[in-house]
Structure 1
Amino acid sequence: MNIHSKLPDIGTTIFTIMSKLATDHGAINLSQGFPGFNCDPHLLDLVYKYMKEGKNQYAPMSGVPILKERLAEKTKKVYGIDYNSETEVTIVSGATDAIYSAITAIVKSGDEVILLEPAYDSYAPGIILSGGIPVYVPLELPDFSVNWQKVEEAITEKTRLIMVNTPHNPSGYMWTKDDLNKLAQLIKDKNIHVISDEVYEHITFDGRQHLSLMVHPILKERTFVCGSFGKTFHVTGWKIGYCLAPADLTLEFRKVHQFVTFSSATPLQYALAAYLEDERHYLELPEFYQKKRDLFCAGLAETGFIFTPAQGSFFQQVSYAHLSDEPDFDLAVRLTKEIGVASIPISVFFKNKDDHKILRFCFAKTDQELFKAIEIIQNSKFF
């Protein structure tokens, strides 16, 4: 029997490919975006506590009430924005679940969705599966800022959704007030919604403040804000995320979410709720990760790569265009196999695999791993 694939052009993700290569060749894995260290032992103790207390059955579809309440309190404290924990906060199985459910709730066959590329690789498949049409607008190199004229030119009567990611993966670019204002101006009189991927909201550098789309009144009313406890608290394997959206959007979102994962791991939700009581657990994150970014960048400065330190996220991009014409995918594979450091070629984040000779490294690793990776890169002659 023949299967008519709904995603005929989609293969195995680059993260799976590069992580397997790193494992096969004993390389330091600076490719896939996950911390190379464990979370706070106190958080693990909390999970065990709630497991022993019997919090091991299905959680409510929209999330454990106490976690939704704590998340709403945190959002008010950090951004000054109110969300009703019962009708506007949903706990999900990772931000990918949130993004997929939000896309499915909004996009119908023939609708156009604007993607700012390089774009994370889960966005377009979700659009296509809903019958939507991805419309790609390139970000401006070298800083990966938004060209708002190009966005305006891409909007048509069929545009129903714009996908946003700040801090941006893979570049680390963070949106400004001007970005928020220009997006709001473009869509204020149109039937266009927004999905904002903000999983790196607390990983920001050099005193920059993350500007969530929720802080703009026009944008808040039409935006699904997607976040990740996994990224914030170094527990990506738990796959616990959330979606904040106005009640009318949340209603449609939950109609989809209930048939995607229904609910997420119960004891983990109770543990995260208790952990959120101490605001230091997320407010101290910028300092924690800036030390790692600065350590890694100091080492990169002694190599031939050209780069600008990331504004946010736990990724650092480097350019080698002045050194070689080798395709970025080939170079990433070769560095993994030959010198033992795995990275991500950013051409994979472009629909047409545009090759700007840029690699992405993840510095969410132990200092020992970062020192070792830098030493290997500095001592290897791979061009």
Structure 2
Amino acid sequence: MSRAVLSTSSKLSGVSYSLRGPLAARAESMRAEGRSVVSMNVGDPVAHGLPPRPEVVRAMRDGIDRSAAYGPARGLPDAREAVAGHYRGKGFDTVEAEDVYLGNGVSELAASTLHALLEPQDEVLIPAPDYPMWTASTVLAGGRPVHYPCDETSGWLPDPVALRDRITARTRAIVAINPNNPTGSVWPRPVVDAIAALARRHGLLLLADEIYDDFLYDGALHSPLATCAPDTPCVTFGGLSKRSRVPGFRMGWAVLTGPRAARATLATALDTVTSLRLCPNVPAQRVVPTALRVDDTKDLTGPGGAFRHRRDHLLRALAGIPGIHCVKPGGAFYAFPRIDVRRYRVDGDALAGGLLREEGLLVVPGAGLGPVPPGHLRMVTMPPCDVIDDVAERLARFLERHDSRRTWCGSVP
């Protein structure tokens, strides 16, 4: 007797997540075979020897006995008040605990917001390069991602004119990722103001992915999108994964700002969507007040700090390899170097796949991060300096082997 083959959603044809996609699966298989693989693909500080502060872990332990029951759908009141107070300190003057939704990481809350917002084929403007969760979540919510370009020659800043030209009658929201993942660019106030003005003029929701807002280098200043648009509905996303170095705790938040009447319908829809998951991770919520009180990000990103020192070391290592150009990231903990594809004649998945296959180096191909010119790779800047040196040696060996004067890399099997 034959059995029918189950069909799956056609929406998945437009969904990919290159940070943990086929290349990452292949890397795990290589490790199982005993091969040496260096991972430069996922922004996990703990994996690179940067653990959380002990007070944060202790807060989880101390609260575990009080965390077995369900909590409120929006999150525990004291945790939400801690987030509200944190943002009032950043200039979100009117934020209250009722404006805060806690969730199991920004990824969950971004998806929930898009499900609450979009009708089928509604459009969301997303920067390119992008963090692929935004594109994938838009597709899964039934929407259509429309990418607006960020220009490498201007330090990976978006062009507000190009963004404006992509607004249609179906556009519902603008996503801003600042500081940016994957490029590390920090968008200056005039750019942020221009994005806010477009949303105001066209009645669009602002979605501000600012989880790296405290990861700033070399005097860079971050302008929160919500403070540039107090008269416009905005959802600001942040969390503990990066700033407190506890990505495994899965604790993020969404903060609603703008005129309350204008965002009341969205809040009601978010109440419905978030209630479907019953509640956020309760033990992780116990950590929030302590984590926001003992933050040490500035120590790590300032002169002599581990994040800054390792970023600088990676940039020097990349600069020493012929045919590589990299805009200096002013924030977050990623670099987005470009390989000279005319010299080495490798790009896209062929480049990232070849690096993994031949050198055991796992990076994120730029082709998986939206419409991006060929030859780009995303690399984390967090590994210790000896690991960075190893990465640079592997990359240099690969490029020397595939110099266009010698051979052609070809496609990845």
TM-score w.r.t. structure 1 length?
0.90
Residues 240-251 of structure 1: matches in 2 within 5 Å?
240-246=251-257, 247=260, 248=264, 249-251=266-268
CA 1:11–1:216: 2 relative to 1, 3 Å:
closer
Aligned to 2:271: 254
2:325 maps to 1:320: no
CA 1:174–1:48: 2 relative to 1, 3 Å:
same
CA 1:379–1:122: 2 relative to 1, 3 Å:
closer
Following superposition, the deviation at residue 15 of structure 1 comes to: 1.8
Aligned to 1:22: 27
Residues 255-270 of structure 1: matches in 2 within 5 Å?
255-259=272-276, 261-270=277-286
The SS at the match of 1:311 is coil
2:132 maps to 1:121: yes
Aligned to 1:194: 206
How far apart in 1 are the matches of 2:285 and 2:166? 40
Following superposition, the deviation at residue 19 of structure 1 comes to: 2.8
Aligned to 1:281: 296
Aligned to 2:44: 34
CA 1:258–1:367: 2 relative to 1, 3 Å:
farther
Q: Which amino acid aligns with 1:29?
A: S
How far apart in 1 are the matches of 2:309 and 2:267? 37
Q: Which amino acid aligns with 2:108?
A: D
Aligned to 2:222: 210
Moved more, 361-370 or 167-176: 361-370
How far apart in 2 are the matches of 1:234 and 1:368? 21
Following superposition, the deviation at residue 346 of structure 1 comes to: 0.8
Residues 72-221 of structure 1: matches in 2 within 5 Å?
72-77=84-89, 79-142=90-153, 143-218=155-230, 221=232
State whether residues 126 and 175 of structure 2, in contact with CA within 8 Å, keep that contact through their aligned partners in structure 1.
yes
Following superposition, the deviation at residue 254 of structure 1 comes to: 2.6
How far apart in 2 are the matches of 1:382 and 1:167? 35
CA 1:379–1:5: 2 relative to 1, 3 Å:
closer
The number of residue pairs the alignment matches comes to: 376
Moved more, 185-194 or 205-214: 185-194
CA 1:277–1:350: 2 relative to 1, 3 Å:
closer
CA 1:141–1:228: 2 relative to 1, 3 Å:
same
- Where in structure 2 are there 5+ consecutive unaligned residues? 403-413
Aligned residue among 13, 17, 33 for 1:13: 17
The SS at the match of 2:296 is helix
How far apart in 2 are the matches of 1:48 and 1:302? 46
Q: Which amino acid aligns with 1:252?
A: A
Q: Which amino acid aligns with 2:273?
A: V
Aligned to 2:60: 47
Following superposition, the deviation at residue 344 of structure 1 comes to: 0.9
Q: What fraction of aligned residue pairs are identical, expressed as a percent?
A: 19
State whether residues 88 and 95 of structure 2, in contact with CA within 8 Å, keep that contact through their aligned partners in structure 1.
no
Aligned to 1:369: 387
The SS at the match of 1:210 is coil
How far apart in 2 are the matches of 1:359 and 1:207? 26
Aligned residue among 213, 223, 234 for 2:234: 223
Aligned residue among 309, 319, 325 for 2:328: 309
How far apart in 2 are the matches of 1:67 and 1:185? 32
How far apart in 1 are the matches of 2:391 and 2:347? 21
Following superposition, the deviation at residue 11 of structure 1 comes to: 5.7
Q: Which amino acid aligns with 2:280?
A: S
Higher RCO (CA-CA < 8 Å; seq separation 6+): 1
Q: Which amino acid aligns with 2:296?
A: H
Largest Rg, 1 or 2? 2
Aligned to 1:235: 246
